[in-house]
Amino acid sequence: MTFDRRTFIAASAATAAAPLLPACASPGTSNAAATDAAPYPAFIGKSTQTLLPRGKAPRIVICGGGWGGLTTAANLRQLAPQAEVVLLDRNPVFFSSPLSNMWLVNMVDGELLTHDYLRVANKLGYKFFQAEVQQIDRDRRIVTTSVGTLDYDWLVLAPGIRYNYESWFGNDRQAADAARTRFPSAYASNSEFLTLKRALHNFKGGELVMNLPPPPQRCPPSPYERACLIAWHFKTNKIKGHITILDHKPSIMPIGQGYKLAFEELYKDFITYVPNAHVQEVDPFNQRIRTAAGDHKFDHAILMAPHKAGDLAWLAGTVSKTSDGWADMDEVTMQIKGDERAYVIGDAIAAVSTLPFRYYPKSAHIANRLGRIVAYQISEKLAGRAPERRLPDNLCYMVVNGTPGQALNVQFDYDFDAQGRVRQVQRDYNERTPALFKDDFRWADFMFEEMFAGIAPPVLPYPAYRA
């Protein structure tokens, strides 16, 4: 480990101060009790201590170790091996949302979705800390976490989404907590997936309601996939359950025709699709939801509050008055507006175009592509070169049947129009096929190889995998 003079002095001062720390043992401890306290062990993390001594290498701190953050870290190790890369996530392990709908109904094992942060960090040569990021000071370039502070030269935020329960419940935390804990949507937090899975497997029959929030939302086709797979679970296990999909949108989007046929041909007695169901009131205590398309009482529900940029994007001051709850950034480089050393990627980002599609789909595939783009941006800048403008692509497989395994697919390509705006071409594959089902696993394999084995191509575009 290399120390420069300034950090060495700071580190020595911190060590010298350590024996004095019992006086401020923990919040709420009285001074009288604290005098009896044992000396504070140096490695119990405190947000006031330096987490990692500073070496000479430029330091890149990535906040959020989901799809975007892990891809960025893996690609940075390849493109900028001279840099120190630090990845921070609050979770001890990575759990994949893609493929999780199959896991909910026991079509795949949890091991396929779960990955070990420390193993990948050691293997690829970056540092990982399991830590809650609590504060980001972009003026001083300091990240404060639950276990210490880190200064940085470059910052990448990949915080995912938050649920905007405020839009349903105002500041009524009790109602928001009841919705979140009793009827979680399992779209953002790992423990919600477990709660939902348990609820589904304890469900003996009755009415299951799931709502889809207004766009943009995380992975727009995946709630329909989830409805199909839950219906498949009811059908194969002879559970007298019925699913009502309350969709904010006027029709199923994307892959509308493919899903419509799956609902009608495979799950006629199990799924009812209701369009234009704008949520007006949610009552998690009496198990009711009122929408513009009617009122529904439920036995269980998957209640999905509208999505916005993850809390971290707000803590870092990246959400502007005009970015509609998403992180404001340059549409191509992903650089946070007004900050040449900070980037934001993945689901948290704001609109990328003034054309009607406006947002990239909030998908793992896009988060992966933006992770690559930002790793490239930073590595070029570190090398003193001007990065070129690069755009992502998107690809999503959606499973609609378990016996036989069948899936649909949607693809997106991007380029610039004559005015320099990002343009989108969408292709829906509405025919459900076993080949697409197989390709879903192949896609996940490619992604996991890149994120967890560092097998990433050094340049974009990726030799694009196409159905």
Ligand X SMILES: Cc1cc2nc3c(=O)[nH]c(=O)nc-3n(C[C@H](O)[C@H](O)[C@H](O)COP(=O)(O)OP(=O)(O)OC[C@H]3O[C@@H](n4cnc5c(N)ncnc54)[C@H](O)[C@@H]3O)c2cc1C
Residues engaged in binding ligand X (CB under 6 A): 64-69, 88-91, 97-98, 100-101, 132-133, 158-160, 187, 218-219, 222, 310-312, 346-348, 362-365, 367, 396-397
Q: Residue 347 has which token pair?
A: 């689901």
| For ligand X, the closer CB: 21 or 184 | 184
Give me the least distance between CB of 431 and ligand X, in Å please. Answer: 18
Give me the least distance between CB of 414 and ligand X, in Å please. Answer: 15
| For ligand X, the closer CB: 21 or 226 | 226
Beta strand 205-212 pairing with 161-163: unpaired
Give me the least distance between CB of 104 and ligand X, in Å please. Answer: 8
| For ligand X, the closer CB: 90 or 423 | 90
| For ligand X, the closer CB: 100 or 244 | 100
| For ligand X, the closer CB: 25 or 399 | 399
| Closest to 288 measured CA to CA, from 212, 223, 207, 215 | 207
CA distances from 59 to 126, 141, 144, 371, 457 (A): 11, 11, 15, 17, 23
DSSP run (H or E) holding 210: strand 205-212
| For ligand X, the closer CB: 7 or 106 | 106
**Cα(430)–Cα(407) distance, integer angstroms:** 9
Report which residue type is found at 284.
Answer: P
DSSP per residue, 422-446: EEEEEEEEEEEEHHHHHHHHHHHHH
Burial of 420: CB neighbours in 10 Å, binned 0-12, 13-18, 19+: exposed
Residue pair 187/310 in contact (Cβ under 8 Å)? The answer is: no
| For ligand X, the closer CB: 25 or 365 | 365
Give me the least distance between CB of 6 and ligand X, in Å please. Answer: 27
SS3 156: strand
CA distances from 344 to 356, 374, 378, 406 (A): 22, 9, 12, 35
Residue pair 415/424 in contact (Cβ under 8 Å)? The answer is: no
SS3 395: strand
Instruction: Order the strands of the 127-130 sheet from edge to edge.
Output: 127-130, 84-89, 59-63, 154-157, 342-344
DSSP run (H or E) holding 378: helix 364-382
Give me the least distance between CB of 5 and ligand X, in Å please. Answer: 31
Q: Residue 285 has which token pair?
A: 């205590």
| For ligand X, the closer CB: 65 or 254 | 65
Give me the least distance between CB of 427 and ligand X, in Å please. Answer: 15
Give me the least distance between CB of 62 and ligand X, in Å please. Answer: 10
Give me the least distance between CB of 189 and ligand X, in Å please. Answer: 8
Give me the least distance between CB of 221 and ligand X, in Å please. Answer: 8
| For ligand X, the closer CB: 66 or 325 | 66
**Cα(395)–Cα(28) distance, integer angstroms:** 51
Buried b (16+ CB within 10 A) or exposed e, 96-132: bbbbbbbbbbebbeeebbebebeebbeebebbbbbbe
Cis ω for the linkage preceding 461 (within 30 of 0): yes
| For ligand X, the closer CB: 101 or 377 | 101
Name the residue whose CB lies closest to ligand X: 66
Give me the least distance between CB of 442 and ligand X, in Å please. Answer: 13
**Cα(285)–Cα(361) distance, integer angstroms:** 33
Residue pair 305/213 in contact (Cβ under 8 Å)? The answer is: yes
CA 308 from centroid of its chain's CA atoms: 11
| For ligand X, the closer CB: 25 or 148 | 148
Give me the least distance between CB of 418 and ligand X, in Å please. Answer: 30
Q: Residue 404 has which token pair?
A: 């036989």
